[in-house]
Structures are given as structure tokens and as C-alpha cells.
């Protein structure tokens, strides 16, 4: 993995490396059509509305969530490409164990 490749993935990891944002992503993904409006998400947290809005903005700007305004409500939707990029990173791509490797505790 080159420095450039790392620099591309790090923003996604940074966005997910927060308990609130991780739960927000999980909640969006488990909602109908992998989307949810802020009014669905906020009540699950003991945080102010601006704070939730801030975290959703971080997830949006990192490319993990799409935004769509419908009337008064704003719906956030999971971006499949981003989720696949994460899954690929830890399976086929740069961050998976080589098959033959036998590190400590690998217990053949």
C-alpha cells in the first residue's frame, strides 16, 4: 500500500473512528432502504441536535452518506461504493493477512 493509497482510505476510517458516527452509520444501514432522516437518528443519542448534525456532516463529506432533502426532513443514505471500499480494504486489498502467513497465535 502506497502513501497515496493510504491517504485515500484514511478519511473514511477517520470518519468511522468515532462511537457516535459508527452507530449512526449502523443505524442508517439497518433502516429501510439503507436510509434514515435525522429525526429518526437523533433520539437514540444523548447529544444535542447540532452535534448530531455535525457528525452527519462528517460522514457526508467523507463520502459515506448521501444527503437528500424531502420537505422539512433530511434523509441520509449509505453509499454502497464507500462501504465496498471498506470491505475490500480488509479482505482482498492492502490490509488482509496473506494466506500462508503464520503469525503468533495463528494456530494452523
Partner DNA sequence: TGTAAGTATCTACGCATGTCGATGTCTGGT
Partner DNA sequence: ACCAGACATCGACATGCGTAGATACTTACA
Interface residues toward DNA, by CB under 7 A: 14, 17-18, 20-21, 37-39, 42, 46-58, 67, 69, 71-74
Per-residue contact string for residues 28-67; x = within reach of a copy of itself by CB under 8 A: -xx--xxx------------------------------x-
In DSSP terms, which residues pair with 78 in a beta bridge? 65
Pairing of strands 73-78, 65-70: antiparallel
The interface partner of residue 22, options being a copy of itself, DNA, none and the CB cut-off 5 to 8 Å by kind, is a copy of itself
Among DNA, a copy of itself, none, partner that 72 touches (CB below 5 to 8 angstroms by kind): DNA
Q: Give the DSSP H or E segment for 87.
A: helix 80-89
Contact 27, 36 (CB under 8 A): yes
- 74 contacts a copy of itself (rule: CB under 8 A): no
Place of cell 484514511: 10
Nearest-Å Rg of the Cα atoms of the chain is 17
Output 77 or 88, the one with its CB closest to DNA. 77
The listed partner (DNA, a copy of itself, none) that binds 53, CB under 5 to 8 Å by sort, is DNA
Cβ-proximal residues to 67 (8 Å cutoff; 6+ apart), any chain: 60, 74, 75, 76, 77
Q: Which is nearer to a copy of itself, 22 or 74 (CB)?
A: 22
Amino acid at each position: 500500500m502506497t502513501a497515496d493509497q493510504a491517504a485515500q482510505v484514511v478519511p473514511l476510517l477517520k470518519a468511522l473512528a468515532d462511537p457516535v458516527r459508527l452507530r449512526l452509520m449502523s443505524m442508517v444501514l439497518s433502516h429501510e432502504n439503507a436510509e434514515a432522516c435525522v429525526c429518526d437518528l437523533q433520539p437514540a443519542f444523548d447529544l444535542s441536535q447540532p452535534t448530531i448534525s455535525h457528525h452527519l456532516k462528517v460522514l457526508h463529506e467523507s463520502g459515506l452518506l448521501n444527503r437528500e432533502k424531502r420537505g422539512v426532513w433530511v434523509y441520509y443514505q449509505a453509499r454502497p461504493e464507500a462501504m465496498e471500499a471498506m470491505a475490500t480494504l480488509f479482505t482482498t486489498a492492502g490490509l488482509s493477512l496473506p494466506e500462508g502467513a503464520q503469525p503468533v497465535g495463528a494456530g494452523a
